[in-house]
Chain A
Amino acid sequence: MVEVHLWSALRRFADGRETVEVEASTVGQMLDALKRDYPGLAAPIDAGVSVSVDGRIIASDLTEPVAPESEVYLMQRLRGG
């Protein structure tokens, strides 16, 4: 299982929890599992999120691997100038 940290404003969509656990080996599988297990997270994920895996920020590549020991954070989608 991968432990996923949620930013504060997302926790109300996951029964108030700061972290949730899902079965996944890639970023894409992780996001799909989050949407399946916590339907309230579908809107923020569909609106676009970045994912931090062990401090490396994944902006869009769903094939990036995640592992049970990975530190994983959902983040707001990053935008630049």
Chain B
Amino acid sequence: MALDDRKSQFLYVGTTPDRPDGLDKVTGRAKFGADAYAPGMLHGAILRSPHAHARIKRIDTSRAEALKDVKAIVTRADFADVPFAPGLEGEFWNVLENVMAGDTALYDGHAIAAVAATSALAARDALKLIDVRYEELPHVTDVDEAMKEGAPVIREGAADYSVPEGMHPNVVRYHESGHGDVEAGFAEADLVIEDHFVTEATHQGYIEPHACLATLGGDGKGELWCCTQGHWIVQKTCAALLGIETSQLRVTASEIGGGFGGKTTVFIEPVALALSRKANRPVKIVMSRNEVFRATGPTASASMDVKIGMKKDGTITAAEGVFRLQGGAFPGAPGDMTAMCAFAPYNLTNVRQVGYDVMTNRPKQAAYRAPGSPMAAFATESVIDELCKQLGLDPIEVRLKNASHEGTKASYGPRFERIGLVETLEAAKAHPHYSAPLKPGQGRGISCGFWFNHGGETSVSLSLSEDGTVQLAVGTPDIGGSRASMALMAAEVLGVPYENIRVTIADTATLGYNDVSHGSRVTYASGLATIKAAEDAVQRLCARAAAKWGIPEDAVKWENGCAVPSGPNAGEFDPLPLAEITATMGQTGGPISGHYEATPEGAGVSFATHIVDAEVDRETGKTKVVRYTVVQDAGKAIHPTYVEGQFQGGAAQGIGWALNEEYIYNDSGRLENPLFLDYRIPVASDLPMIDTVIVEVPNPGHPYGVRGVGETSICPPLAAIANAVSAAAEVRMRRLPMSPPRVLSALKSDG
């Protein structure tokens, strides 16, 4: 996409007005997933497997069906009966298998059957009367164990073309890439370090559980209200699983209490629709926190080996990594992304990376901010840190010496366009944090991080009202203040105040297709589409002015919210404000709108550098992050406060992942900590004030230079914190989370 209209001077972009949904959020007026009601509504509940791996021999629902409050019960048979369903393949089949088990329960928490009853209590009581006979099967929940010969096979035939012969059937995807000669590179090095690193699965930890209200009639027409990051993918997936036509299912996205990648697929929505179709009444399902942990996607866990060679002057001569990720009982763990991100920050002559996607008896993993990249950085940046330490080199200088820049051949292949890694490193080096003295017992860690970012299918529609105000309809659920950013970009083009623009997240019936709010794509792609839609409207406004003045359309330009003659030859006319044109638009050609539909393909990759200070209580093993600074390239910060919010959010979630969060499975393969009491996300007292520095190296693929910021911020924290804790504890930390027992153990065993 040629972008010859790049803008660098802004009136509205770069300001920080209050978010348009602020009052709704603080007064409780905002409607989230569980806030919808319908006449005659039933409540759904889902029976879940208590076993990690078990054949389902028989499901007897007769006792539950006999209850007068029970109006419908569904099992997998209620999906398979649909004529369309037997044709399901690929990811649709995986999703169906995940939302309702077929002949085998694949993990603790896997859905087996569902009930719709007149109250939530009655539905839950009815679950107890469903008799399921299981035949327990051997299970495996650890990625390394799952790859070993003799490990229980989760599903034969799930591997695709990429897996070389001879690997265990649980290895379902394989990636290998790189360039140069790593062995020759290691031979050139003065020091080579190879180490093994492990991260546990963590949950996205969104505060709002999944919730939906579904209506589906015998005529194949349905309505669905749900908490999601993308309602068009919900529409497409549910239609496929239920065997109905896509356009006959209208999906509306509720406000969303966090997603972070975990709400980019469906879990309860097809179940609620199936129950509704059977009961012929609306059905609402709200997940408990226990269900969220057991049956929605955590991130993958990882086992990784990284080897890096370095010269005494800090030059990296070669890098090699093997990344094994388990993604639960389905293909999808981002072994490929992990491998491709691992060495991307560095300009390497010799590099090789291998990624494995491995199935285990755990819930189907879902995306979590920059899926794969945080784990990769943990392994890579820990080894670089250790090389710097042993060679007596400054960690930022070493990273600057090896940093990728425009024209660098990336570790995953192509050459980079304009990127801002060096600028983040320079800003980190200049930040007072980097030169601040440390207290005894404290350590400082540095890490870089990388993420690709994404564009995706996007539709935006903008309509003008007679009074000159603006309605902007976008299709990407607002998960981080994006309505404010969209309004700022529309205001910039139209030249009208931010407050005059009302941004709505349209439902699937009122706007063209939109991909999910993921891949840090919203401010980039919906923003680009908003700019183009506003420019489309401006063109129509100029045409009305031209007609009024009796001059050619190309003799009119748009300036400060007014149509004006484009030059002295166009004639002398007073500026015609937007509101004056719209006041009479019904009599001058009809309503004025603008729209834009495209798949923008210039998202622009993104880099960050984090600085962390941590201290370790050597008696208890408790770690505290005492200072944290995020430096990240945003391309152009449309709303700087919300960019800072994304930076801080990524760091806060990274602190949780690094220090405390983990899925703990017992020997039976059951999740032991499916509650926030036992699965510890950071609370305010765990966090320091997270300082931020916004670096702006414009993205060549966006008219204002925007790069997505939502994901890159979680790439460096695991490594930066591990490097800080390792420095404070004087022992290399190789396993996350660095919970007090692990730190104590490391202190005792010296690593």
Interface segment, one of B411-419, B555-563, B610-618: B411-419
* Residues of chain A within 8 A of B162, CB atoms compared: 9, 44
Separation of A71 and B457 alpha carbons in the complex (Å): 24
Separation of A5 and B337 alpha carbons in the complex (Å): 18
When the two chains form the complex, which single residue of B176, B371, B414 contacts A73, counting CB atoms closer than 8 Å?
B414
* Contact across chains for A59 and B413 when beta carbons are under 8 A apart: no
* Contact across chains for B454 and A80 when beta carbons are under 8 A apart: yes
Separation of A1 and B449 alpha carbons in the complex (Å): 36
Question: What interface size band does chain A fall in?
Answer: 20 to 34
* Contact across chains for B456 and A9 when beta carbons are under 8 A apart: no
Q: Mark A47-60, 1 if CB is under 8 A from B, else 0.
A: 10000101111111
Separation of A55 and B418 alpha carbons in the complex (Å): 9
* Contact across chains for B175 and A7 when beta carbons are under 8 A apart: yes
Q: CB of A75 within 8 A of chain B?
A: yes
* Contact across chains for B336 and A57 when beta carbons are under 8 A apart: no
* Contact across chains for B711 and A76 when beta carbons are under 8 A apart: no
Q: Mark B405-430, 1 if CB is under 8 A from A, else 0.
A: 00000001111110000000000000
Interface centre among A7, A54, A61, A71 (most CB of B within 10 A): A7
Q: Mark B150-166, 1 if CB is under 8 A from A, else 0.
A: 00000000001110000
Query: What is the distance, in angstroms, from A31's C-beta to the closest C-beta of chain B?
Result: 15
* Residues of chain B within 8 A of A9, CB atoms compared: 162, 174-177
Interface centre among A5, A8, A59 (most CB of B within 10 A): A59
* Residues of chain B within 8 A of A64, CB atoms compared: 601
Please name the residue on chain B nearest to A43 by beta carbon. B161
* Contact across chains for A60 and B367 when beta carbons are under 8 A apart: no
* Residues of chain A within 8 A of B711, CB atoms compared: 80-81
* Contact across chains for B370 and A80 when beta carbons are under 8 A apart: yes
Query: What is the distance, in angstroms, from A2's C-beta to the closest C-beta of chain B?
Result: 14
Q: CB of B521 within 8 A of chain A?
A: yes
Separation of A54 and B601 alpha carbons in the complex (Å): 12
Q: CB of B44 within 8 A of chain A?
A: no
Separation of A61 and B162 alpha carbons in the complex (Å): 24
When the two chains form the complex, which single residue of A47, A57, A59, A76 contacts B160, counting CB atoms closer than 8 Å?
A47
Please name the residue on chain A nearest to B417 by beta carbon. A55
Interface centre among A9, A44, A54 (most CB of B within 10 A): A9
Q: Mark B328-344, 1 if CB is under 8 A from A, else 0.
A: 00000010110010000
* Contact across chains for A81 and B519 when beta carbons are under 8 A apart: yes
Query: What is the distance, in angstroms, from B339's C-beta to the closest C-beta of chain A?
Result: 9
* Contact across chains for A56 and B415 when beta carbons are under 8 A apart: no
When the two chains form the complex, which single residue of B352, B369, B413 contacts A81, counting CB atoms closer than 8 Å?
B369
Q: Mark B450-474, 1 if CB is under 8 A from A, else 0.
A: 0111111100000000000000000
Separation of A66 and B147 alpha carbons in the complex (Å): 40
* Contact across chains for B369 and A55 when beta carbons are under 8 A apart: no
Separation of A57 and B699 alpha carbons in the complex (Å): 13
Q: CB of B264 within 8 A of chain A?
A: yes
* Residues of chain A in range 21-57 having any CB-CB distance to chain B below 8 Å: 43-44, 47, 52, 54-57
Separation of A9 and B353 alpha carbons in the complex (Å): 11
Please name the residue on chain A nearest to B261 by beta carbon. A81
When the two chains form the complex, which single residue of B160, B204, B452, B599 contacts A78, counting CB atoms closer than 8 Å?
B452
Query: What is the distance, in angstroms, from A14's C-beta to the closest C-beta of chain B?
Result: 13
Q: CB of B169 within 8 A of chain A?
A: no
* Contact across chains for B601 and A57 when beta carbons are under 8 A apart: yes
Q: CB of B178 within 8 A of chain A?
A: yes
* Residues of chain A within 8 A of B412, CB atoms compared: 7, 73, 75
Please name the residue on chain A nearest to B419 by beta carbon. A55
* Contact across chains for B261 and A59 when beta carbons are under 8 A apart: no
* Residues of chain B within 8 A of A56, CB atoms compared: 417, 601-602, 700-701
Query: What is the distance, in angstroms, from B129's C-beta to the closest C-beta of chain A?
Result: 39
* Residues of chain B within 8 A of A54, CB atoms compared: 414-415, 417
Query: What is the distance, in angstroms, from B493's C-beta to the closest C-beta of chain A?
Result: 24
Q: CB of B95 within 8 A of chain A?
A: no
When the two chains form the complex, which single residue of A52, A58, A79 contacts B413, counting CB atoms closer than 8 Å?
A52
* Contact across chains for A78 and B454 when beta carbons are under 8 A apart: yes
* Residues of chain A within 8 A of B735, CB atoms compared: none
Query: What is the distance, in angstroms, from A40's C-beta to the closest C-beta of chain B?
Result: 8
28 of the cross-chain contacts (CB-CB < 8 Å) are A5-B413, A8-B176, A9-B176, A44-B161, A44-B162, A54-B417, A55-B415, A56-B417, A57-B605, A59-B455, A59-B599, A60-B601, A61-B601, A64-B601, A73-B414, A75-B340, A76-B175, A76-B337, A76-B340, A79-B334, A80-B370, A80-B518, A81-B260, A81-B262, A81-B369, A81-B370, A81-B371, A81-B519
> Apart from A55-B414, A79-B518, A80-B711, what 6 extra A-B contacts exist at CB < 8 Å?
A7-B412, A9-B177, A54-B415, A60-B601, A81-B367, A81-B711
Q: Which 8 A-B pairs have the closest CB atoms?
A: A81-B261, A80-B519, A81-B367, A43-B161, A52-B414, A73-B413, A7-B177, A9-B176
